[in-house]
A and B are shown apart, each in its own frame.
Chain A
Amino acid sequence: MNVPEMTEPEINVKPKLRVATTSLAGCFGCHMSFLDIDERLFDLLELVEFDRSPLTDIKHCGPCDIGIIEGGVCNAENVHVLREFRANCKILIAIGACAINGGLPAQRNHLPLSIVLEEVYHAQHGLVDGFIPNDPELPLPLDKVHPIHEVVQVDYFIPGCPPSGDAIWKVLTDLLAGREPELGHGLIHYD
């Protein structure tokens, strides 16, 4: 066997993975749960840097390795944000019940949108001369709330309402280590 030629010693510092997070029609509970990974955040920050996220206040997402989406798709703005994430993130993760099956916001789906808007802006007790806001700044609601995988392709899912910090940690560390993420008993839950 030939002795291999000497090469430059490998620099043992991998570039950090870029991670973006956002909440669509959600309550930011999944983000709060994300913070529940506590001091492990420091370990995580050794491996990743954050792009667009409530943690950084960056408004638009650049090219990323991982995008994490909380919340379902209930309006036009959600669609824009979701598309931005899908276009920029190599891996897209749906986090929490709302992103995965519409969750609480989707419970309006058995009602026509017109009834919902009427009820909120016209019919409800105490509303005098109510009108449905029509400011172009406001995103229009879709007729139904959709899980994000009905609008873009999603690579991984972390169920829970919210998923525990441990579950989030498990999926992220599995992915960072190049493993197929797996939640066992106790970590996988839908509530």
Chain B
Amino acid sequence: MTIQTRSHAGYLDPILVKHQHNPNNLLQILIEAQQHYGHIHTDAIAHLSEQLQFPRSKIEGVVGFYSFLYLKPQGEYRVLFSDNITDRMLGNMDLMERMCAQLWVESGKVSEDGLLSINTTSCTGMCDQGPALLVNNIAINHLSPERVNAISELIRERVPVSSWPAEFFAIQDNIRRKDILLDSHFQPGSALSVLFRSGAQRGLDEIKASRLRGRGGAGFSTGMKWEFCRDAVGDAHYVVCNADEGEPGTFKDRVLLNGYADMVFEGMTACARIIGAKKGFLYLRGEYVYLREHLQAVLQRRRQQSLLGQCILGNDDFSFDIEIHLGAGAYICGEESALIESLEGKRGTPRNRPPFPVTNGYLDQPTVVNNVETFAAASLILLNDGAWYAGIGTATSSGTKILSVSGDCQRPGLYEYPFGVTVAEVLEDCGARNTQAVQISGPSGMCISQAEFGRRIAFDDIPTAGAFMIFDQRRDMFEVARNFVRFFAHESCGFCTPCRVGTSLLSNMMDKLANGHGSPYDFSEIEKLNVILQSTSHCGLGHSACNPVLDTIKKFRSAYEKRMIHEDFVPAFDLDFALTQARQMTGRDDSSAHLERLNEPR
């Protein structure tokens, strides 16, 4: 074991040095450590535990929490098919089966020779160019049978992923409609120069005057958040940009970080100036790791331009820098307090609130956590002024909102609109035909039916973090809801009873309906679960886990009626199927070796 430990030291020690042997960087250390074997070797955990003087139980606990960290060996090629409903609509399941058949592997398992594993993963944020997959965490989009054939061949030939054709990894921005933000031609340093001229208080006043509200969906006043944080007492203040864009159907932050990173980083820097922070973090979801190199380059350039680092733009009293932290496959880390836990290298469990991050955030210090788009908008506001921004949009919702449009339409991609745009206008612009429904703000948002297409995108009508998934008349809205419910069950952190158990129960109930065992009894059960999840869950994930089902039951009842095929209760499992193993073992197939179905579908 000593020898093995020493062999792990070879690659682990430089990682540990890079992260200052700081357990707060545990998640980052583990992500990098995993590069070596494709999983975290048990002896590697022993070495990390010893070197960090940190209990191995906690390290294993962290590895066990994140979908992209593994305690057991995975395939040399780790293929994960994005499994959002939009990927399903584009045929991802057939493509996955195709690859499994071509490479002789069962999904969810590692091939016998250890060459590969194929599985599904939550939405990878490529809905406008799906179906998508990740191979060893790198995104490949526009999957087609031909592309799958080619990937299978590359894997079979053991071609390193770095040598695969570059076009596989091309990712489009697909910006379809630009408004003030996407069309701003922002010059790095321009907003900071204004801020330094006018002073931090004036800057904050402008943000407040703009009535900017958080773009992550909750819509808290950005100016107030910054002010609370500035006024909170602490040893240090922190700025955190939430780029853990995990809400299925959302991909605007990916585009902003790709093409507008300066605006985002400048917004963070301005925030730091206003609240008095020296350090900021960009928490980048693991699925977007391909953006890291580009973002590091932008940060490096900004340091050279004196827009980051010591004495920014010659201000002796202002130093600030930004570190990129990666996520590792956990939707819940988009919740700000879970994100902070994750930044601290822990399991991403939402904290008890209050206290809120503005007073007790990263390392228990005052912390601003804002969405990528919020920081970009803040740059724009500082560059112009608050009143100008407040004049755009509606009374409750100033400015513009970037929508991630996907699903059944001709032109999926990003659409920036002033708040107040109607659903119908968006549908018209993106070329959606025969639209049955739109899921706005992802599974945790709202499902809008045709009768409501006149409603507006705004905090007082349809609030959204950006996702806009379109379903035309061909789509089965029950299957849409079932996909979302499965997502919540997979992503529940497991902290509180109602969400941990309730999301799985709900997913099982939806499967029961899908498998032809549904009756009115199951409907009352779903409604009962909804009540308990909404009222007793620890955080928003549990509160909203039933939304997709409730919305679709209400608005697309026929999709459920089809599944309510029995008048009376039937078991969730097939009784005759439950005898299969016994029949095989005994070689029996006589009539009493079977159980007939009761309550045949009406």
Touch between chains A and B, by CB atoms below 8 Å: yes
- The A contact surface, by secondary structure, is mixed
Is B311's CB within 8 Å of the partner chain A? no
* Given A142-B578, A150-B571; A136-B593 close (CB under 8 Å): yes
B583 at the interface (CB under 8 A from A): yes
CB distance from B593 to the nearest CB of A (A): 6
Which residues of B have CB within 8 Å of A143? 578-582
Give per-residue flags for B564-602: 1 if the beta carbon is below 8 A from chain A beta carbons, else 0.
Answer: 000011011101001111111111101011110010000
Docked Cα-Cα span, A152 to B582, in Å, equals 22
Write the nearest CB–CB distance from B564 to chain A, whole angstroms. 16
Closest approach, in angstroms, between the C-beta of B595 and any C-beta of chain A? 6
The number of residue pairs between A and B whose CB atoms lie closer than 8 Å in the complex comes to 58
Complex partner residue of B575 from A112, A117, A142, CB under 8 angstroms: A142
**Known contacts A150-B572, A153-B569; A79 and B595 CB within 8 A of each other:** yes
Task: Assess whether B54 is interfacial by the CB under 8 Å rule.
Answer: no
A112-B581 Cα distance, complex, nearest whole Å: 9
| A112 CA / B578 CA spacing, docked (Å) | 12
In the bound complex, do residue B592 and residue A139 qualify as a contact, i.e. CB atoms below 8 Å apart? yes
Interface digits, A110-142 against B, CB 8 Å rule (1 contact, 0 not)?
001110010000000000000011101001111
Interface size class of B (residues with CB under 8 A): 20 to 34
A142 touches B571 (CB 8 A): no
* Chain A residue contacts of B581, Cβ below 8 A: 112-114, 143
Residues of A within 8 A of B521 (CB): 153
Given A76-B592, A150-B572, A151-B571: A140 in contact with B582 (beta carbons within 8 A): yes
Q: Are A134 and B598 in contact (CB under 8 A)?
A: no
A134–B569 CA distance with the chains assembled, in angstroms: 32
Q: How far apart are A121's CB and chain B's nearest CB, in angstroms?
A: 9
**Nearest B residue to A112, CB-CB:** B581
In chain B, positions 336-353 with a C-beta closer than 8 Å to chain A are none
Number of interface residues of A (CB under 8 A): 23
Bound complex: CA A79 to CA B590 (Å):
17
**A136–B575 touching, CB < 8 Å:** no
Q: Is A144 an interface residue (CB 8 A)?
A: yes
Chain B residues near A146 (CB, 8 Å)? Answer: 571
Question: What separation, in Å, do the CA atoms of A80 and B596 have in the docked complex?
Answer: 10
Expressed in whole angstroms, the minimum distance between the Cβ of B98 and any Cβ of chain A is 30
CA distance A151 to B595 in the complex (A): 12
Partner among A133, A136, A151, A152 whose Cβ is within 8 Å of the Cβ of B590: A136
User: Which residues from B are CB-within-8-Å of A108?
Assistant: none
CB distance from B572 to the nearest CB of A (A): 7
Residues of B within 8 A of A142 (CB): 575, 578-579, 582
Residues of B within 8 A of A76 (CB): 579, 592-595
Given contacts A79-B595, A153-B521, is CB(A132)–CB(B578) below 8 Å?
A: no
| A132 adjacent to B586 (CB under 8 Å) | yes
* Residues A141-165 near B (CB distance < 8 A): 141-144, 146, 150-153
A83 interfacial by beta-carbon distance below 8 Å: yes
Could you say which residues of chain A place their CB within 8 Å of the CB of B594? 76
Q: Give complex CA distance A83, B594 in Å.
A: 15
Nearest 4 CB-CB pairings of A with B: A140-B582, A134-B586, A142-B578, A153-B569
Interface residue ranges, B against A (CB under 8 Å): 521, 568-569, 571-573, 575, 578-588, 590, 592-595, 598
List 27 A–B pairs whose Cβ atoms lie within 8 Å, in order of A's numbering: A76-B593, A76-B594, A79-B595, A80-B595, A83-B598, A113-B582, A113-B585, A114-B585, A132-B585, A132-B586, A134-B587, A136-B588, A136-B590, A136-B592, A136-B593, A140-B579, A140-B582, A140-B586, A140-B592, A141-B579, A143-B578, A143-B579, A143-B580, A143-B581, A150-B571, A151-B571, A152-B569
